[in-house]
């Protein structure tokens, strides 16, 4: 009885955490939410006057197109990272312990360099006089340089490149925990290699797949520097839009409203993840 009562009270040790959450999470969020329902001031800042203007504006085709394009890019990014990351993680898990750590190190090493610098690296590779074009011309595959930079494809390549490690690591995490005797049992019971893979390995690593998808999808919606650098002015994504509204157009309510929508979309994805994976906590993706 005593114990149960104790459990219901708020422990003193939790106070710092509560303060931390309040200052760095709750208050900024409420601030953003409030701001999104205000009006833009003529010169600077906001006017404390209720308005749904920012949200109404979002329904215009220009904004909807950005939403659509952002979403499409995020879906493609998630798909491609899964397509590339799963086999990589699968074969890494079969390696000897020594080679396995080497392979995982190779996945992690790029993190030691600033991601902006790495994206500049892609610009060097992809531009008209860049490495890829030079190579293709030298091999005689093409005569004139291909336009590889400043388009949707370049942004997709950059996104997949930047987010692939997250997919690999979360998928690897669940593949490495897979009991090899399960696939052996499937083979023993008459399943061919592919059948065993689809009926046992994939379902057993679903948690890792889902976690990887969430970890890739969510940041991909908000990343703006990749499309800034590789997409040129043509590709406008949700992240760019928010940045522009806040810093360039100085339309803070609009920026706030877009942020709120993005957050809602993110929560929706996490909710979907929880429902599909049957996972109640988010421990699977951390």
The nearest distance, CB 96 to other proteins, in angstroms, is 10
Cβ atoms 159, 223 nearer than 8 A:
yes
51 vs 176, which CB is nearer to other proteins?
A: 176
Contact 239, 227 (CB under 8 A): yes
Least Å distance, CB 134 to other proteins, is: 46
Site for other proteins, rule CB under 8 A: 179, 181-182, 184-192, 195, 199-200, 203-204
Which letter does DSSP use for residue 246 in this model?
A: I
The encoded tokens of residue 279 equal: 């996972």
CB of 193 to other proteins, least distance (A): 8
Closest CB to other proteins among residues 131, 182:
182
Count CB neighbours of 15 within 10 A. 10
Which of 82, 110, 72, 106 has its CA nearest to residue 220? 72
Helix (H) or strand (E) holding 40: strand 39-40
Contact 105, 244 (CB under 8 A): no
DSSP H stretches of helix in 191-233 = 193-196, 202-204, 206-222, 225-230
Question: What's the closest the beta carbon of residue 198 comes to other proteins, in angstroms?
Answer: 12
Nearer to other proteins, 69 or 279 (CB): 279
Least distance (Å) from other proteins to the CB of residue 236? 42
**Choice between 65 and 177, CB closer to other proteins:** 177
Beta carbon nearer to other proteins, 119 or 207: 207
CA–CA separation, 84 and 80 (whole Å) = 6
């Amino acid at each position: 009885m005593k114990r149960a009562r104790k459990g219901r009270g708020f422990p003193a040790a939790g106070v710092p955490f509560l303060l931390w959450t309040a200052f760095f999470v709750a208050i900024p969020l409420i601030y953003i939410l409030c701001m999104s329902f205000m009006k833009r001031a003529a010169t600077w800042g906001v006017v404390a006057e209720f308005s749904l203007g920012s949200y109404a504006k979002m329904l215009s085709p220009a904004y909807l197109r950005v939403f659509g394009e952002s979403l499409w890019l995020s879906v493609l990014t998630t798909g491609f990272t899964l397509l590339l990351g799963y086999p990589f993680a699968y074969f890494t898990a079969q390696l000897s312990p020594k080679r396995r750590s080497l392979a995982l190190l190779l996945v992690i090493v790029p993190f030691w360099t600033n991601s902006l610098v790495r994206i500049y690296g892609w610009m060097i590779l992809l531009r008209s006089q860049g490495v890829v074009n030079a190579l293709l011309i030298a091999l005689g595959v093409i005569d004139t340089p291909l336009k590889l930079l400043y388009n949707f494809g370049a942004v997709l390549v950059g996104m997949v490149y930047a987010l692939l490690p997250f997919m690999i690591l979360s998928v690897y995490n669940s593949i490495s925990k897979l009991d090899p005797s399960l696939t052996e049992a499937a083979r023993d019971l008459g399943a061919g290699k592919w059948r065993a893979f689809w009926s046992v390995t994939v379902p057993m690593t679903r948690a890792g797949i889902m976690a990887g998808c969430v970890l890739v999808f969510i940041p991909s919606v908000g990343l703006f520097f990749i499309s800034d650098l590789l997409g040129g002015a043509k590709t406008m994504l949700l992240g760019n839009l928010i940045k522009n509204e806040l810093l360039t157009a100085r339309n803070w309510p609009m920026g706030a409203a877009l942020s709120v929508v993005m957050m809602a979309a993110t929560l929706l994805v996490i909710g979907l993840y929880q429902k599909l994976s049957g996972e109640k906590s988010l421990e699977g993706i951390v």
